[in-house]
Structure 1
Amino acid sequence: MPKPLDPKCQLCSKLPTAKAKVLHGAEGDGCWNPHICHNRRSFYRRRKSANTGIETIIVEPPGTYFAVLYLYKELGDKPLHALAAELWLGQQPVCRLEPIHCFGLTAGKIRSYTDQVLQAFASQYSVSLYQYKDMFEINPAHCPVRPCPLHPPL
């Protein structure tokens, strides 16, 4: 199996040799090796230019509706801080439930609420939605709801 490309060397190959020697030589991070680096830089530059002759086409992905649920919670078995949801059509979001705090809501009430959101999306856009396509857990530090106990006013 071939060795993976080194991102540091890829970036270095785009620099002029003099600048690369300064950044990665004795005054820099010390990784410059004159026996290896000239050939490696040449390899990365040629590899990049060889791929430019390939034609690219764009095929529009199918436009299907799906719902996504965002859960603002700590990792592990911690309580849910907030939640939000979005309805997507293909590659674009078309409708959003603004985030709400979940303080004092039981697991049953949260489940009932997320089902209501799914039904609201379905009835608003006349589509069949039976479940969320994906759920993303986000650290509560990124909670966008204001006011929020995690982000007290200054």
Structure 2
Amino acid sequence: MPKPLNTKCQLCAKLPTAKAKVLHGAQGDGCWNPRVCHNRRSFYRSRTKDNRSIDSIAVEPPATYFAVLYLYKEPGDKPLHALGAELWLGQKPICRLEPIHCFGLTAGKIRSYTDKVLQAFAKEYGVSLYQYKDMFEISPNHCPVRPCPLHPES
């Protein structure tokens, strides 16, 4: 069985020789061995070139509908500033609910609203959506809703 590739040597092979000698020589971590390293660096560089010559193909991913929810809030147990949602088909968003502020909305009202958004996406595109595929927390500093208390108009 062949010896496994050394990750450190793979990274070192990408560096210019002078920089590699400084990093791995007497002033660095001390692993530089002039009897071995020149050949090893050459081996790893040519191996990388060989790997680049491998053909690649593109296969269209399955096109399935899914919804994602964007929560504009500070990390942790902080109140929700705003929320938005998107419906995706495969790798592309196809429908967006523009974000809204959540000031004064209780957790129950927010849950009810997000459920209605899922139902609206499902009805509009004739698909079944039972839950959001993913939720992303975004800093309220990036809130796109205007006017916004975090972004007073000048």
TM-score (norm. length: structure 2): 0.76
Alpha-carbon distance, 1:16 to partner? 5.9
Q: Which has the larger radius of gyration?
A: 2
Show the counterpart of 2:105: 105
Rate the CA distance shift 1:134–1:91 in 2: closer, same or farther, 3 A.
same
For 2:103 and 2:55, locate their aligned partners in 1 and report how far apart those are by CA, in whole Å.
Answer: 53
For 2:59 and 2:109, locate their aligned partners in 1 and report how far apart those are by CA, in whole Å.
Answer: 42
Show the counterpart of 2:83: 83
For 2:135 and 2:33, locate their aligned partners in 1 and report how far apart those are by CA, in whole Å.
Answer: 50
Q: Report percent identity of matched pairs.
A: 72
Alpha-carbon distance, 1:53 to partner? 2.6
Rate the CA distance shift 1:16–1:99 in 2: closer, same or farther, 3 A.
same
Rate the CA distance shift 1:41–1:150 in 2: closer, same or farther, 3 A.
farther
For 2:77 and 2:6, locate their aligned partners in 1 and report how far apart those are by CA, in whole Å.
Answer: 37
Q: Which runs of 5+ in 2 are unaligned?
A: none
For 1:3 and 1:143, locate their aligned partners in 2 and report how far apart those are by CA, in whole Å.
Answer: 46
For 2:141 and 2:43, locate their aligned partners in 1 and report how far apart those are by CA, in whole Å.
Answer: 44
Check if 1:151 corresponds to 2:151.
yes
Show the counterpart of 1:118: 118
Q: Which runs of 5+ in 1 are unaligned?
A: none
Alignment of 1:1-154 (within 5 A): 5=7, 10=11, 35=33, 38=38, 41-154=41-154
CA RMSD of aligned residues (A): 2.9
Alpha-carbon distance, 1:85 to partner? 0.4
Q: Deviations over 1:28-76 (max 9, x none)?
A: xx86987577556535422320212322111111111010001111111
| 3-state SS of paired residue (2:121) | helix
Question: Number of paired residues?
Answer: 145
Rate the CA distance shift 1:32–1:50 in 2: closer, same or farther, 3 A.
farther
Rate the CA distance shift 1:50–1:97 in 2: closer, same or farther, 3 A.
same
For 1:144 and 1:43, locate their aligned partners in 2 and report how far apart those are by CA, in whole Å.
Answer: 51
| 3-state SS of paired residue (1:128) | coil
